[in-house]
Amino acid sequence: MLRVVAAVAMFELGLFVAGYLIYWIVQRPGDLDFGSQYAAAYIGIHYGWSRLYDPTLIGPIEAANHLDGFAPFQHPPPDAWLAIPFLLLPLRWAGLIWQALVLAALVAAALLVSSSKGGTPPLGAAGPAKPDPGAPPAARRWDRALILLSVAGFQPVLFALGYGTMSPVVFLLLVGTLRAMEGGSPVLAGVLLGLTALKPQLTLLTIPVLLAAGYWKVALTAAGVMAALAVASVAVIGVSGTRDYVSFLVSPDTLLHPVPWTVKGLVGTGTPSFIATAVVIVAAVAVAIRLRPPPDVALSVGVLASLFVAQHLNVGDFVLWLLPVWLAFRAGRPWWLRAVAALTWISGWLVVGVPIVCVVCDVALAVTFVVATARQSHDRDSKGNIESGEDMALRSEDGAEHDVQRLRRGKREVRLELRRLR
């Protein structure tokens, strides 16, 4: 019954998202985050990549393409490289194609998760997951439908598609990372995770969490890919372009920009947010070292922590919430973890109106994952101790029986020797 109610509710919300997205595309064509990527690619081709972050260039280009307001290019250089093929088209058509591609990325991510059997390796294991026996076909069809509907009815999806952000691409790469880890391909998982540097603030803490959890091949490969992208970026935009980008990242406008749906919404901007970020990093790493969580939990905690401490975040970036929400509903997970995940999904509709609720839900879901994993680890340890005690008892019984048999054999040998002497 709950599945039916959830499906109907998400379907109706999905209709609203689809309708408003059509209105957005028709009536607000200039309200497009992808426009800054398009303008940056144009600058790189026509003015040189060293001027990629020159605000005196990007403003007139955006105005010439009828974009609403000035939006500086805030992304790493590879984001501009991806937009180069779209320069063959006017921005309006390029934007439509890009929006179709990010929609396809969301659908692909949902299908990848729904086709997974949800197996997880033992705690701390880095090998392939043991597949679950699988649910009945009817239940799997329900799961697939609910996953797709959870995408369609999620408000951040509207903003991600409307603005044409990079978030759905990063989301697909994360899902691919999880599938590769559970499939026993740590190097491939690391490559996919490293490519999330297209929008690094969304996944930045996943690498230290995975490294601390024991998935060192994934973490080191991801770090290597990110380092390679950074080197390539510096080589292309040069020293002056790199200086402009770093200046933008550490500028007061960037660091002190209020983002109410992150840690800044709790403690404020500036030094308090930096201290809170350091505390979150230490806590996340400590939890990973202590619990050695399975890949899905490690990725979920890493993503939730990254979103919580991000210095810059927009509403569309919350599409990444879908991954930990989906993983909370895997077989064997406690009902209270699923309840918190459901509330987190619902709070996605409050990002704009009541952002503090989203901050609380983000933290609550991460903490609940940790508690559920700790309880699972404790239960396994307790079971192991019981089994060890039983084994010791059996060994003791076997040893005592062996001693009795040796004593009986000794008595028989003595009797035989006495008879021989007589």
pLDDT at 125: 39
Q: State the virtual CA torsion across 388, 391, 395, 396 in degrees, nearest 10.
A: 70
Q: Report the pLDDT averaged over residues 101-108.
A: 96
Confidence at residue 123, expressed as pLDDT on a 0 to 100 scale: 35
Query: What is the torsional sign of CA 277, 280, 281, 282?
Result: positive
Contact 267, 273 (CB under 8 A): yes
Give me the percent of the chain exceeding a pLDDT of 90.
Answer: 62
As a whole number of angstroms, the distance between CA 378 and CA 369 comes to 14
Selected residue with higher pLDDT from 390 and 90: 90
Nearest to 182 by CA among 118, 100, 133: 118
Name which of 61-70, 256-265, 291-300 the model is least confident about. Answer: 61-70
Examine the pLDDT at 245 and tell me if it is beyond 80.
yes
The reported pLDDT for the residue numbered 299 is 97
Pairwise pLDDT comparison (251 vs 256), residue with the higher score: 251
Q: Who contacts 176 (Cβ-Cβ below 8 Å, separation ≥6)? A: 112, 189, 192
pLDDT of residue 400: 54
The answer for residues whose C-beta is within 8 angstroms of residue 99's C-beta and 6 or more apart is 25, 34, 161, 162, 164
Cα–Cα nearest to 300, from 327, 331, 261: 327
pLDDT tier at 419 (50, 70, 90 boundaries)? low
- Given this model, what pLDDT does residue 150 score? 95
111-125, 165-179, 215-229: which range is least confident on average?
111-125
Mean pLDDT for 46-53 is 93
pLDDT of residue 64: 80
State mean pLDDT over 260-271. 85
What H or E segment, with its residue span, contains residue 74? none
**Which of the pair, 157 or 143, is modelled with greater confidence?**
157
| Residues contacting 303, CB < 8 A, separation 6+ | 174, 202, 203, 206, 320, 323, 324
Closest CA to 83 of 140, 137, 33, 128: 33
Q: What is the tens place of the pLDDT at every residue in 279-322? A: 999 999 999 999 999 999 999 999 999 999 998 888 999 999 99
* Residues 6 or more apart in contact with residue 282 via CB below 8 angstroms: none
pLDDT category of residue 121 using cuts at 50, 70 and 90: very low
Distance (Å, whole) CA 125 – CA 364: 26
pLDDT (0 to 100) of residue 127: 44
Q: Pick the closest to residue 118 from 98, 97, 100, 139 (CA basis).
A: 139
What is the spatial distance between Cα 91 and Cα 35, in angstroms, rounded to a whole number? 7
Domain ranges of the chain: 2-378
**Residue 309 confidence (pLDDT):** 92
* Exposed/middle/buried for residue 382 (C-beta within 10 Å: 0-12, 13-18, 19+): exposed
Q: pLDDT tens across 153-211, in order? A: 999 999 999 999 999 999 999 999 999 999 999 999 999 999 999 999 999 999 999 99
Encoded amino acid at 303, one letter: V
Name the helix (H) or strand (E) containing 124.
none
CA 365, 367, 371 angle in degrees (round to 5)? 115
Lowest mean pLDDT across 12-21, 208-217, 398-407:
398-407
- Interval 127-148 mean pLDDT: 68
Query: Under a CB-based contact definition with an 8 Å cutoff, are residues 245 and 55 in contact?
Result: no
pLDDT tens sequence across 379-396 = 666 655 544 545 544 455
Separation of alpha carbons 272 and 268, rounded Å = 6
Model confidence at 59, pLDDT cuts 50, 70, 90, reads confident
Residue 18 has pLDDT above 70, yes or no: yes
pLDDT of residue 256: 74
pLDDT at position 134, please? Answer: 53
Residue 120 pLDDT: 41
Could you read off the pLDDT of 346-368 as tens digits, one per residue?
A: 999 998 889 999 999 999 999 99
Residue 39 and residue 46: Cα distance in Å, rounded?
10
Looking at mean pLDDT, say which of 249-258, 369-378, 382-391 comes out highest.
369-378
Note the Cα 62 to chain centre separation in Å: 32
| Amino acid at residue number 295 | P
Cβ burial 92-103 (10 Å sphere, 16+ → b, else e): eebbbebbeebb
Residue 412 has pLDDT above 90, yes or no: no
Given a contact cutoff of 8 angstroms between Cβ atoms, the answer to whether 14 and 202 are in contact is: no
Mean pLDDT of the chain: 86
Query: How does DSSP classify residue 130?
Result: P
- Nearest by Cα to 260 from 269, 251, 270: 269
What DSSP character marks residue 84? G
pLDDT bin (cut points 50, 70, 90) of residue 129 is very low
Instruction: Note the pLDDT of residue 126.
Output: 39
| Alpha-carbon gap, residue 39 to 34, rounded angstroms | 9
Closest to 320 (Cα-Cα) out of 159, 187, 101, 91? 159
| pLDDT (0 to 100) of residue 362 | 95
> Of 22-26, 210-214, 360-364, 397-401, which range is least confident?
397-401
